[in-house]
């Protein structure tokens, strides 16, 4: 299973496979036709309240991770679909956050890896 993460501001690559934008808001400064997502999955983005609380502050990441995983429990159908697609090819989770180690994409990537072992 191959699930990778990538900032939306990085160039499109042939190795991206299916590209899913996983942010609730469209990234600043990008035109829709320039991003080329397979799908914009707003539903699996962190809720507005969680995103506002987190503010991408690394010291809040552990709590953010727990709360976001709890939110994702209600979207198991979408997670199963992405995991299934990743078993047959590469899936790239697109995000706009500046810190690639403390964002929703890392949490989602981890969760999808866990689902692949089930």
Q: Is residue 59's pLDDT more than 80?
A: yes
pLDDT digit string (tens) for 73-93? 999 999 999 999 999 999 999
pLDDT for the residue numbered 38: 93
Q: Is residue 1's pLDDT more than 80?
A: no
Q: Is residue 116's pLDDT more than 80?
A: no
As for how many domains the chain has, the answer is: 1
Q: What is the mean pLDDT of residues 58-80?
A: 96
Q: What is the mean pLDDT of residues 105-113?
A: 95
Spatial contact of 85 and 112, defined as CB atoms under 8 Å apart? no
Structure tokens that stand for 117 in this block:
């072992």
Global pTM exceeds 0.75: yes
pLDDT digit string (tens) for 2-47? 999 999 999 999 999 999 999 999 999 998 888 989 999 999 999 9
pLDDT for the residue numbered 32: 83
Domain that includes residue 95, residue range: 2-116
User: What is the enclosing helix (H) or strand (E) of 91?
Assistant: strand 90-95
Torsion angle of C-alpha atoms 105, 14, 83, 88, degrees rounded to 10: -160
């Amino acid at each position: 299973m191959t699930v990778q993460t990538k900032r939306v501001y990085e160039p499109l690559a042939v190795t991206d496979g299916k590209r899913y934008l996983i942010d609730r808001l469209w990234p600043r400064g990008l035109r829709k036709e320039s991003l080329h997502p397979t799908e914009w999955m707003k539903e699996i983005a962190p809720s507005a309240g969680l995103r506002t609380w987190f503010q991408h502050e690394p010291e809040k990441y552990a709590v953010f991770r727990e709360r976001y995983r709890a939110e994702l429990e209600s979207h198991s159908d979408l997670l199963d679909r992405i995991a299934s697609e990743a078993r047959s090819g590469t899936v790239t989770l697109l995000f706009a956050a500046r810190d690639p180690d403390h964002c929703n994409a890392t949490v989602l990537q981890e969760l999808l890896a866990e689902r692949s072992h089930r």
